[in-house]
Structure 1
Amino acid sequence: MGHADTLLAMGGAFLAAALLARAGVRIGLPTIPLFMLAGILLGPHTPGVVLVDSPEDLETLSALGLVLLLFYLGLEFHLDDLRRGGRRLFAAGGIYLLLNVGAGLGFGFALGWGAREALVLAGVLGISSSAIVTKILIDLGRLAHPETRLILGVLVVEDLFLAMYLAALQPVLADVHGVGETIAQAGKAFGFLVALAVVARFGTRLVGRLIAVRDDELLVVTFLGAAVLVAGVSEVLGVADAIGAFMVGLIFGSTSSAPRIRELVHPLRDAFAAIFFFGFGLSIDPGDVAGVAGPVAAAVALTAATSVIAGLVAARLHGFGAQPAANIATTLVARGEFALILAAMAAGAGLDSRLASFVAGYVLVLAVLGPVMAGRSGWLVRLLAAVGRSPARTPADTAAPVPYAAPPGATAHPTPDDPTPHAPTPHDSPLTAR
């Protein structure tokens, strides 16, 4: 693309995503699938106006959106919270992974597309979308809810698993020959992750001094450069760029500059996240997806069932009542960026061509269904009550709601299942409230 064409594509993508999402929000639809729908309608695979000829034209902007989303998630989580959660948190995340990854692996073998394809499908069906789940929590104003801490904890356990899973899967997809080559390739990835974890655990004071600056402009340039650079190094070493960005957020989130960084990254995250989902929409060919509609429908039903079951078990393990349990179970259903990463890896490895179309349809359906289920989680409470399996009520369910005073300039967003308004600001982190 030429310079003028690039500017037209960028500006048109931002405006198209904003206008369609704005129209959808007025009738209660979540923004994420609307951004994706804008990409589908204005992409090369549908008739009418073609705003962007190829998803690669927005590849860098889309990658930046993913990096910022995962960087923000890292800011919102601290290693102390992971340690305080202890065995129950790891048990909740482990149960979720066991049910969903196991179901995905069994589904992959049942399709009969091949053993390597089944290993990819285990991750596609098994791991929630950190980007979409984070966006759901922000859109619904649930960052300050007590159950959100468990949701983010499950995501972090999933992210840690994903890092190891990708490191182990890379040589399998690359069809690496020889034990030595396999160990060398996996060792690079694991070594890099261990180095980042050590910095997150022991080096935050030094990092805090290095990035401490009064000028907001310099702070933005610093954290943005660090997140993008480490994401790039991660990809070179065989680790997903999203994992590197998450680890940088984890490190910066424990510094004295963390509150300012959360505030400054907020508008950047929202803007480029829209382009990430728009860019994903550009890659979807509705015709190809129609050819795998049956497997997509079966996989969506399987994921919805296993995610809800695992979420309810995790909620019971932590003593949450009916509504928080329903929030946990439905919020974690969404699948997204990690599935796309796996699809891209599979395409590069020359795996079954149906896999990419399957992942596109599967993610699109769950990107719509996930936010809708989360926003209307009250249906699950009523269903559980009807069958007599509602989790035991806790003081959190029966206590009078605490009056909420929105910060200056904040907008309350009550939801049907959550009448108490909560302002979705980066300051309302359940992980920093003690």
Structure 2
Amino acid sequence: MGGAFLAAALLARLGSRIELPTIPLFILAGILLGPHTPGIVLVSDPHELEMLSALGLVLLLFYLGLEFHLDDLKAGGRKMALAGGAYLALNVGAGLGFGFALGWGTSEALVLAGVLGISSSAIVTKILVDLGRIGNPETKPILGIIVVEDIFLALYLAALQPILSGADSLSAALADGGKAFGFLLLLALAARFGKKVIGRLINTKDDELLVISFLGTAVFMAGVSEWFGVADAIGAFMVGLMLGSTTSGDRIRTLVHPLRDAFGAIFFFAFGLSINPGDLPKVLWPVLAAVALTLTMNIVAGLVAARIYHFGSGPAANVATTLVARGEFALILATMAAGAALDARLAPFIAGYVLILAVLGPLAAAKSHWLARVLPGGGRGGGDGGGGDDGGPSGDDTSDGDLTLAKASGA
């Protein structure tokens, strides 16, 4: 584990000299030092880091919840639902059509719909933090789309599981989906009406006790969420949503930073361990076609979100490029597909697709101002799209600017 931390840190330091984002470098460290490439093998079995990797994902989404204010969700819920629904319709629909076009089978097409349709919450969060965009106006629709995706994810997995297992019980699928939705609703009500009670329970002047309290709560609720059929990350997100509005919220945001960064690095390193570059050539052309399709759909989704929120070309480019990365959820689907004995080409396809977009996503987000120049309105001062490290607005006509997120202190 020490070698994994050091290798990730060394590559990230080298990459920072040429202004490369850290995410693809952490992933590259995992690939180079994993069991699928020649040379030094630090970790022969990716499952050895499974718990640490899960903790990294939980902390990334917990931090995201801390920065996402309930007032923003309440005031902008309709627009978030519209933007998230449009994103899912475009990307999941395109993924389903692509899956049928490949001709690998109906179950495979249903898996590919989720693979191509759902963004990586972990990578999106890291991009927003690294680029200093947490406080940007367009970050609100980005986070809203992630929330809508996670709700869809719970229902999608509940419906997909009986299909992959060969079960034909629609009632069982509906029961699982209802259980997941009911748990999400319960968490949302607790976040909305129970923050005073939760605030009193969590509050303490001792930083050590506060760290143990919020970390234990986030991890515990992540585990409970999995038991209810909801992604563990969304449980951690909801805990962050609750605690971010309490009197201890600012201190928690400060104290969680080193934990988030350290275990987030391990999450991406472990992600790299699972990728076997030798499997990629046989599915190269389908992977490249899927990447091109995803890039196109994300640009369209960015323009739709900008239209809903009355943003210019800069924020539209930020939305399109920030959400393009695919990651942890696609790998979960790859594991499910392997267990269901689906087409053998599916696993290497997912690995190649995720690897390219996990690397391309942060790079594209950092250079989103290039895309902003060619989008409608890009030549008329529609925003630079860069988002800037100052975290300020990056577009024009931000009518919802008064609903910005919390200050990204230390981000």
- What TM-score do the two structures reach when normalised by structure 2? 0.91
Alignment partner of 1:432 is 2:406: yes
Equivalent pairs counted in the alignment come to 397
Question: Per-residue deviation at 1:153?
Answer: 1.8
Q: Distance in 1 between matches of 2:162 and 2:39?
A: 42
Alignment partner of 1:269 is 2:243: no
Cα RMSD over matched residues?
Answer: 2.2
Alignment partner of 1:237 is 2:228: yes
Question: Per-residue deviation at 1:328?
Answer: 1.7
Could you tell me which runs of 5 or more consecutive residues in structure 1 were left unpaired when the two chains were aligned: 1-9, 399-415, 424-428
Q: Distance in 1 between matches of 2:174 and 2:139?
A: 37
Counterpart of 2:371 (choices 357, 362, 380) is 380
Q: Distance in 2 between matches of 1:318 and 1:123?
A: 26
Alignment partner of 1:390 is 2:377: yes
Counterpart of 1:228 (choices 207, 219, 223) is 219
- The one-letter code of the counterpart of 1:165 is Y
Q: Distance in 1 between matches of 2:289 and 2:306?
A: 26
Question: Per-residue deviation at 1:92?
Answer: 1.4
Q: Distance in 2 between matches of 1:13 and 1:318?
A: 42
Counterpart of 2:164 (choices 150, 155, 173) is 173
Greater displacement, 206-215 / 172-181: 172-181
- The one-letter code of the counterpart of 2:315 is P
Contact 2:162-2:169 at 8 Å conserved across structures: no
SS in 2 for 1:146: coil
Alignment of 1:16-415 (within 5 A): 16-384=7-375, 389-390=376-377, 397=383
Question: Per-residue deviation at 1:133?
Answer: 1.1
In structure 2, the CA distance between the partners of 1:420 and 1:187, relative to structure 1 (3 Å rule), is closer
**CA offset digits 1:4-29 (Å, max 9, x no partner):** xxxxxx00000000100110121121
In structure 2, the CA distance between the partners of 1:187 and 1:326, relative to structure 1 (3 Å rule), is closer
Question: Per-residue deviation at 1:393?
Answer: 5.9
SS in 2 for 1:291: helix
Q: Distance in 1 between matches of 2:245 and 2:199?
A: 8
Greater displacement, 210-219 / 145-154: 145-154
Question: Per-residue deviation at 1:123?
Answer: 1.3
In structure 2, the CA distance between the partners of 1:358 and 1:397, relative to structure 1 (3 Å rule), is closer
- The one-letter code of the counterpart of 1:263 is T
- The one-letter code of the counterpart of 2:256 is V
- Identical-residue share of aligned pairs (%): 70
Question: Per-residue deviation at 1:261?
Answer: 1.1
Greater displacement, 151-160 / 14-23: 151-160
Question: Per-residue deviation at 1:420?
Answer: 6.2
Contact 1:61-1:276 at 8 Å conserved across structures: yes
- The one-letter code of the counterpart of 1:431 is L
SS in 1 for 2:324: coil
Could you tell me which runs of 5 or more consecutive residues in structure 2 were left unpaired when the two chains were aligned: 393-402
Q: Distance in 1 between matches of 2:332 and 2:70?
A: 25
SS in 2 for 1:222: helix
Q: Distance in 2 between matches of 1:349 and 1:215?
A: 49
Contact 1:32-1:132 at 8 Å conserved across structures: yes
**CA offset digits 1:235-270 (Å, max 9, x no partner):** 233222122222222222222221111111111011
Q: Distance in 2 between matches of 1:214 and 1:353?
A: 55
**CA offset digits 1:65-93 (Å, max 9, x no partner):** 11111111121213331221142222111
Greater displacement, 217-226 / 152-161: 152-161
- The one-letter code of the counterpart of 2:327 is G
Q: Distance in 2 between matches of 1:15 and 1:212?
A: 35
- The one-letter code of the counterpart of 1:16 is A
Greater displacement, 14-23 / 183-192: 183-192
Q: Distance in 1 between matches of 2:374 and 2:170?
A: 51
**CA offset digits 1:258-316 (Å, max 9, x no partner):** 11111111110111011011001111111112221111111100000000111012112
Q: Distance in 1 between matches of 2:144 and 2:380?
A: 22
- The one-letter code of the counterpart of 2:343 is D
Contact 2:150-2:231 at 8 Å conserved across structures: no
SS in 1 for 2:280: helix
In the alignment, what sits opposite 2:398? none
**CA offset digits 1:37-80 (Å, max 9, x no partner):** 00000011101111110101111111111111111112121333
SS in 2 for 1:371: helix
Q: Distance in 1 between matches of 2:97 and 2:186?
A: 34
**CA offset digits 1:177-221 (Å, max 9, x no partner):** 434433443333233222222212222221111111111111111
